[in-house]
Structure 1
């Protein structure tokens, strides 16, 4: 094997120093991810990977490889992808994404809710056409679509609206993975799915729901004051097209069912973080979370969310961890603990 040149060795040294400085600046370079308590199970959440699919596919690979490698030690039962899998909805970027996500195939079940950059020519969300729905990627008959945990899809021939079930911690869970700015007909279908699973606790996964001001998207009340609302995209202007944002989803879907517990989304820039808890129509508490890191160096340096569900059935520890840097982000809005059945005060610096 050829020995690396002096220039190559210096470049590696510079990269190592850079990553060490980044880790020290943004989190705790602990050397390994926090251990989980005995009896806990873990939910892994992948925020927007668009920059990885376009320019840094090794970071996407690092995330999914880490999940598989740590599946047993951390009892990882399910993986959610919050959308914007790609940046431009191109075949090359979907090839990268497929390679990274296929690492999970047959290992850890997962659900994907495509984002605005996954639709339309060049990822401009001008229509609802996406490579995601093609059989060669994540469409019908793909390994993604034929996972044993998949319960069904909204539309024949397309997989971008799906539901999934899994068991963890002695409880049955239902995941609704919905398109960017879900249509009214998609919400009607989702309501039927939840009603058919009254004994499952429910998670909503969709690309745009919460904003970084700790409230949910609300076009009727705030309009463009909240940037990147689904109502502002080209898909909303198509004849006969309907689009729903966070407030719409809350009123038409989430608040109506007593078994809803959590919502997840990415999409939003700013500080890329948001959280609130609210009571639904039946008095049940719903925890709503935004996480997005695409604006950070190299598209996020592998940051992802790890939720540890403790064996008491109520306590959930939310952490942010990067397998690329092997460090935790300990900021107040990146690591916190909630009780599934209790309202949580707004997140604030200590």
Structure 2
């Protein structure tokens, strides 16, 4: 502890035992030549190292989903009290490794990062026992290990030369891992590239003390992988006060100034060494957040008991959910846990369990801007049995206007399927030009990069409609073999006014005229997609065959962002999807076909007793109807999703 940091919690004194160190050349001759890819990654030799010793082969059940938007990064801080001379007990760490290996697939665990101080004294005996213990996870979950001040001579930097640590945890140990990218020439710094969430991520594992050469090497790795978001791991980064507010240590300040603040890629920096744990958010030179966390539980019961910090990345929600727990205690019978085991099994304080809100796309835009998908031609998104497809760009509109300009009453939107189901624009009473306008706004996965802005409302009724002609074949289509209705919508933010039960799309007519008697009212149409006062999507259909009205309900849908809606019927029942996710409230009631009455299909409203009381309020994009059930991978968003994950 330096005099510049007087308020830091006291640490146990650093103890260094004398270690007999074999010559680096002798170690290399015993272990064989350095794999070529470990040198090629950074253009330098990876330095001395050793094989992992006792290794358990990977099992067939450890499959990791690289494309899932949800994955985990496990962080393991100081384990030194578990490898403390003749007081060693590696069993907690073995339990942690068994847990991570078992959860590799179901928890989608991408990687494990150890933060240093693997052992208490860095003796050959302690190091060898720790290396053997890591064999439990080796080949099952990729991982990195870095040197803490208890693993080597704490008075030295990464130019210290050979050590017992380097023999067991040098680059040769990791060379066979598919994630391993390379190491600094001294062997004490390394990096991994992991594939998760449909993209690549950089993990930097840096020594307890970086030399000037080490800093240059790390910068070279970042320069070589300039488009990858990076997580920096090291041993001595920050310390925290009793309220859990982290502050950079002297070494952390050097790293911040030397490599973190100027490299926008680094969004998360993790360190151990000090306790209590804590966190803070710093602003880098690009004006972006860098989350700095200290994780260390060696002061807790049983030296931390192999406790891990789990970072649950959720790219769909734009968050990282963080939790801290001890798998060793988790595996025990709850009725037989001792009081200390029970209170240590999980930590739930504000520095141990929390959520980071990160707009990943925006945060990474400075070094890895997302290239939006290009518009896709109509012929690329019309699968077999497409009966109607409308889009609101120049390919779909007879005379598309510029963004913000009104869609003229009488304007025609072509049915690009060629089935003759063209739409014609009209306005409800009391509706001016602004009730329907052209827009360039669109869902990211939408084939056409255009939409229409509807400004509907009620009391008095206002809005706009797009309606098929009286002779359109869609008006009488029964869909007895199944159907898929798809559309893109966005609700305004703020969502102002009373728009309860506004319609998105529907067929005109009365369900009573179709001979349907079981529904809420004989005056409602035979098929409609609507929005409830709670902003639940409602799809209600009167089937062609059954006298029934099976209705699907979504959750509360968001405002201010685009969503894709799909209603799929396989000839037996109906299922609604929102953004490719199946909703819960889909009825099991039989439903075959749609009881259409030969009356027009409408986008932008729903009738009651053959009268439109209001129009839709928001944006509507590409809309498609297919005369069979489609799988989610066949939805209009699918090509864009595949491109983003590649």
Question: Which fold has the larger relative contact order, with Cα–Cα distance below 8 Å and residues 6 or more apart in sequence?
Answer: 1
Matches within 5 A, 1:194-233: 194-213=222-241, 214-219=245-250
TM-superposed deviation, 1:44? 0.5
Q: Separation in 1 of the partners of 2:359 and 2:278?
A: 19
Q: Is the 8 A contact 1:302 1:325 kept in 2?
A: no
Q: Is the 8 A contact 1:85 1:118 kept in 2?
A: yes
**Other-structure match for 1:258:** 264
- Structure 1 residues 186, 91: CA separation in 2 closer, same or farther (over 3 Å shift)? same
TM-superposed deviation, 1:48? 0.3
Q: Is the 8 A contact 1:260 1:284 kept in 2?
A: no
Q: Deviations over 1:22-77 (max 9, x none)?
A: xxxxxxxxxxxxxxxx8420100001011112222111111111110111110000
Aligned-CA RMSD value: 1.8
Q: Separation in 2 of the partners of 1:302 and 1:333?
A: 18
Matches within 5 A, 1:108-187: 108-120=141-153, 124-125=154-155, 128=160, 129-134=162-167, 137-142=168-173, 144-155=174-185, 158-187=186-215
* Residue 330 (str. 1) matches residue 332 (str. 2): no
Matches within 5 A, 1:1-350: 39-54=69-84, 55-120=88-153, 124-125=154-155, 128=160, 129-134=162-167, 137-142=168-173, 144-155=174-185, 158-213=186-241, 214-219=245-250, 245-269=251-275, 271=276, 273-312=277-316, 314-326=318-330, 327-341=345-359
- Structure 1 residues 339, 130: CA separation in 2 closer, same or farther (over 3 Å shift)? farther
Q: Is the 8 A contact 1:287 1:340 kept in 2?
A: no
Q: Deviations over 1:96-134 (max 9, x none)?
A: 2112212222111111121000102xxx54573531211
Q: Separation in 2 of the partners of 1:281 and 1:248?
A: 15
Q: Is the 8 A contact 1:169 1:313 kept in 2?
A: no
Q: Is the 8 A contact 2:73 2:111 kept in 1?
A: yes
Unaligned segments of structure 2, at least 5 residues? 1-67, 331-344, 361-646
TM-superposed deviation, 1:251? 0.9
Q: Which has the higher helix share?
A: 1
Q: Separation in 1 of the partners of 2:221 and 2:310?
A: 26
- Structure 1 residues 258, 140: CA separation in 2 closer, same or farther (over 3 Å shift)? closer
- Structure 1 residues 162, 311: CA separation in 2 closer, same or farther (over 3 Å shift)? same
Q: Separation in 1 of the partners of 2:253 and 2:112?
A: 25
Q: Separation in 2 of the partners of 1:160 and 1:146?
A: 17
Q: Separation in 1 of the partners of 2:165 and 2:141?
A: 19
Q: Deviations over 1:200-244 (max 9, x none)?
A: 00011100001113343344xxxxxxxxxxxxxxxxxxxxxxxxx
Q: Deviations over 1:251-295 (max 9, x none)?
A: 1100111211101110003x2x01011121112211111110111
Unaligned segments of structure 1, at least 5 residues? 1-37, 220-244, 343-350
- Deviates most, 317-326 or 92-101: 92-101
